Amino acid sequence: MALAAAFLLFLLAAPSVFATNYPVVWDLTTNYSSWATRPLIAGDTLTFSYSSGSHNVEVVNKNAYDSCSSSNALQTHTGGTNIITLAEGPTYFICGFPTHCTNGMKLQITARASSSTPSSTNTTGSTPAAGSTGAAGLSSVTPLMFGFPLVLFALTS
């Protein structure tokens, strides 16, 4: 009985820790305009894949996005693969290499508030490259931190 209770607790806690990972091919040939309407949720991740040394990923404010200015980037990611966890609200990405942003290498997304329902089931597993600055936020593991002790308690009761 205790094992069944533990399994039930795990099933109840598990959906809240899953986020969807969206791969982003970061290059000059991709049209990023359709991303503005994707149903993204805070806690989801974007995995940018690109040619290291030929591109980067810069997180910028709306004015810098509109003007393709990387002089005051909020974050700069390099290395060819970066996983970026989305916060609630709009986020703006550009390539900081000369003329890349003005030639269309810019991405605007908006993530809505997270809920206890997983955002999607098509996830792709990916790990950050060495030196990557992208990482999962604490909010994605908090339910697990509370759910796991409950499972252990149920197993030992």
More confident residue, 50 or 132: 50
Q: What is the pLDDT of residues 105-114, one digit of tens each?
A: 999 999 999 8
20-135 CATH fold: Immunoglobulin-like (2.60.40)
The residue that leads in pLDDT, 129 or 112, is 112
Task: Return the percentage of the chain with pLDDT > 70, whole number.
Answer: 62
The whole-angstrom separation of Cα 21 and Cα 19 is 7
Whole-prediction pTM: 0.65
What DSSP state is assigned to residue 58?
E
pLDDT, tens only, 44-69? 999 999 999 999 999 999 999 999 99
pLDDT tens-digit profile of 30-45? 999 988 889 999 999 9
Strand (E) or helix (H) holding 85 = strand 81-85
Asked if 84 and 134 count as a contact pair (C-beta separation under 8 A), the reply is yes
Confidence band, pLDDT 50/70/90 cuts, at residue 1 = low
